[in-house]
Structure 1
Amino acid sequence: MRNLPPLNPLRAFEAAARHSSVRLAAEETNVTPGAVSRQIKVLEDHLGVVLFRRSPSEITLTAEGEQYFNSISPHLWGLSDATVNLTGSKGGQIVHIRAYTTFAGKWLIPRLSSFSDAYPNIEIRLTTSLEAVDFQRENVDAAIRLGDGDYPLFEVDKLIENHLAPLCTPEYAKREQIRIAQDLAGKQLLHTLARPEDWRIWIETVGLQGRLDWHSGPKYASSILAYQATLEHQGLMMAQKALFEEDLRKGRLMQPVGPTVTRGKFTYYLILPRSRMRNPALRRFREWLQNECQAVQEDEPVIPTAPRWSGTPG
């Protein structure tokens, strides 16, 4: 036990190494960045080893620092796990998740109460953005991204299927007498600027090019705005169908015509840096999210899009 390093400096080092940021380590440990820097210096003096290379804008682990971080981090998280198991207390566990506005509002948030019921001592802090996450500079533990799943530097979990379908209110479908796909000609198509090719993808996949003007109609900054316009009976949105399952179930929206088009591997993924896997609270969230996604039933026929298409979220 005489060889144990001072524990507060050890905690500061582990947080700074995990975030690659003194500032984010300070936020996590509720001290100032200067205090974190001083604690790391205390640890370096105690060990007689330089743990970080420092520049005005960033810190990076030295080879010795990386080796030490990889060795001590599992033990620190093991202490945290043991304490949680013994006391049932989170000890200040917070998980920072980044998602898209529509995914968060229409799919994730309605389910989060079940996570809170299962883990009342873990706090989920959810933020939304269209921008890619910089895990080294932002206080984000995991992100939900729309893409092809090719994230070689991260742990990656496929979430829900990305199925495209035209949706509208029953009132709009009745008023406009929409019964088959060809009836969409001349109707108001509502677009999401963040995913500008959704209508084109669907129209070309189902063979209606030349019959429908895929770029006509109002353009909205996000899917949630197009959704609101749809609820107001202003037209049809091309929706990622899984995000609007509650509206379909309750009859607020309907799919007036088929088919539903699947984007295949281009869908939603949870991504997180491998170093975050040592966080027990994040592991629990990841397991819960996987179970929620497995519970989603996909029992309707879909047709695949051409693989050349891509898109961005809304």
Structure 2
Amino acid sequence: MLPPRRFLPSLSLLSAFEAAARTGSVTAAAHELGLTQSAVSRQIAALEKQIGVALFLRERQTIRLTIAGDTYAREVREALRRISSASLNLRANPAGGTLNLAILPFFGSRWLAPRLPRFIAAHPGMTVNLITRLEPFEFRFDTLDAAIHFGEARWPGAVLTFLMQEEVVPVGAPELIRRLNIAGEKDLLQAPLLHLNTRPDAWETWLRARNVTFDALHGMLLDQFVTMVEAASAGLGIALLPQFLIARELEAGQLVPVVDQGAMRSGDYFLACPPERASYPPLAAFRDWLLLEIAQEMEIAREIKIARERVA
């Protein structure tokens, strides 16, 4: 239900106010909007009268936001941005079918993006917009329809669809492993370890699972998986990385597993969405495609594993 009309100022009034608030000048706002100074001043005054709050302090030829005006300007700017974004999406795809998806950067670039052309080919007319997000967020305060989530199945208020498990494996550049003579788990305690700041206890968890005792672990701290892959490939240290996301480095021999049977389950991937968007057609189509894509890939991986075991 919309609020009473008196609390819904027209876009022309809001645009004039936002432009003046952002530029700090009625003259600049008028130039930007293609209006006269007096027209912008009248629109701002009309907005203040409608909502019953002073938004600017007038000092001779200058204006300055009041405390209330500053807060209001931020919210109005975001509302106008969302309206503009919605209009742009509709213009790009007038038949509808736009999916705004939050992705994890490494998963998005390494796994999802190379496969998206198959989804687009199977669903012509649909548009998928990808936005990077590292942490869960409130869907009700955003324009996103869904998100790829990693970790535990906890996202208050969201519907979660399980996608797949993740296994991390300790890997390093072949030359570094030879130089440090790493032959087992305990040798890693003397090696430079690469740490991801969003998973600060990853190495501790892995070493405890391998029954390796340690005091403190040191090493380089990085904030992105993609940077960690490059650092490990360059021989800067040993990294714990999702096995399915570094297939190209493993196949090329840039990175090799440090120890045998070193893979460890580290968490799960989910598709998260607000309940009211669960049946949104573009999202439903994407969810079905994503689950099928993962199932087919897992089946191929299983067949490859069986074939290798037979050869061995």
Bucket of the pairwise TM-score, normalised by the shorter protein: 0.5 to 0.7
Query: Greater CA deviation, 134-143 or 151-160?
Result: 151-160
What is the RMSD of the two structures over their aligned residues, measured on CA atoms?
Answer: 2.5
**Contact 2:136–2:155 under 8 Å retained in 1:** no
1:256 alignment partner in structure 2 = 258
Normalising by structure 2, we get a TM-score of: 0.63
**Contact 1:161–1:262 under 8 Å retained in 2:** yes
Residue 235 of structure 1 aligns to a residue in which SS? coil
Rounded to whole Å, the distance in 2 between the matches of 1:98 and 1:293 is: 18
2:173 alignment partner in structure 1 = 169
Report the identity percentage.
26
2:61 alignment partner in structure 1 = none
Residue 190 of structure 2 aligns to a residue in which SS? coil
Residue 178 of structure 1 aligns to a residue in which SS? coil
Residue 106 of structure 1 aligns to a residue in which SS? helix
Q: Whose RCO is larger (CA < 8 A, sep 6+)?
A: 1
Residue 194 of structure 1 aligns to a residue in which SS? coil
Rounded to whole Å, the distance in 2 between the matches of 1:24 and 1:278 is: 26
1:94 lines up with 2:151 in the alignment = no
Q: Deviations over 1:261-300 (max 9, x none)?
A: 113xx32111111211332111111111111222333657
1:233 alignment partner in structure 2 = 235
Gaps of 5+ in 1: 1-20, 32-88, 301-314
1:30 lines up with 2:33 in the alignment = no
Relative to its length, the structure with more helix (as a share) is: 2
**How far 1:25 sits from its partner (Å)?**
7.0
Larger Rg: 1 or 2? 2
- After the TM superposition, which residues 123-138 of structure 1 pair with which residues of structure 2 at under 5 Å, given as runs? 123-138=127-142
Gaps of 5+ in 2: 1-77, 306-312
Rounded to whole Å, the distance in 2 between the matches of 1:236 and 1:29 is: 45
Residue 132 of structure 1 aligns to a residue in which SS? coil
Residue 239 of structure 2 aligns to a residue in which SS? strand
1:279 alignment partner in structure 2 = 280
Runs of 4+ with >4 A deviation: 21-25
- After the TM superposition, which residues 11-30 of structure 1 pair with which residues of structure 2 at under 5 Å, given as runs? 26-27=83-84, 29-30=86-87
Rounded to whole Å, the distance in 2 between the matches of 1:267 and 1:224 is: 19
**Contact 2:196–2:221 under 8 Å retained in 1:** yes
2:39 alignment partner in structure 1 = none
Return closer, same or farther for 1:22/1:182 CA change in 2, 3 Å cut-off. closer
- After the TM superposition, which residues 2-151 of structure 1 pair with which residues of structure 2 at under 5 Å, given as runs? 26-27=83-84, 29-30=86-87, 91-151=95-155
What is the identity, as a one-letter code, of the residue corresponding to 1:215?
L
Rounded to whole Å, the distance in 2 between the matches of 1:24 and 1:284 is: 27
1:79 alignment partner in structure 2 = none
Rounded to whole Å, the distance in 1 between the matches of 2:279 and 2:224 is: 35
2:162 alignment partner in structure 1 = 158
**How far 1:207 sits from its partner (Å)?**
0.6
Return closer, same or farther for 1:90/1:247 CA change in 2, 3 Å cut-off. farther
What is the identity, as a one-letter code, of the residue corresponding to 1:291?
L
User: Residue 206 of structure 1 is aligned with which of 200, 206, 210?
Assistant: 210
Rounded to whole Å, the distance in 2 between the matches of 1:101 and 1:29 is: 24
Rounded to whole Å, the distance in 2 between the matches of 1:145 and 1:178 is: 34
Residue 269 of structure 2 aligns to a residue in which SS? strand
**How far 1:250 sits from its partner (Å)?**
3.2
Return closer, same or farther for 1:155/1:189 CA change in 2, 3 Å cut-off. same
Rounded to whole Å, the distance in 1 between the matches of 2:113 and 2:183 is: 34
Return closer, same or farther for 1:227/1:237 CA change in 2, 3 Å cut-off. same
Rounded to whole Å, the distance in 1 between the matches of 2:102 and 2:269 is: 13
1:268 alignment partner in structure 2 = 269
Residue 143 of structure 1 aligns to a residue in which SS? strand
What is the identity, as a one-letter code, of the residue corresponding to 2:285?
R
**How far 1:186 sits from its partner (Å)?**
1.0
**How far 1:166 sits from its partner (Å)?**
0.4
Q: Deviations over 1:35-74 (max 9, x none)?
A: xxxxxxxxxxxxxxxxxxxxxxxxxxxxxxxxxxxxxxxx
Normalising by structure 1, we get a TM-score of: 0.63
**Contact 1:154–1:271 under 8 Å retained in 2:** yes
Count of aligned pairs: 219
Q: Deviations over 1:60-89 (max 9, x none)?
A: xxxxxxxxxxxxxxxxxxxxxxxxxxxxx8
1:296 lines up with 2:297 in the alignment = yes
**How far 1:22 sits from its partner (Å)?**
6.8
**How far 1:156 sits from its partner (Å)?**
1.4
Return closer, same or farther for 1:208/1:90 CA change in 2, 3 Å cut-off. farther
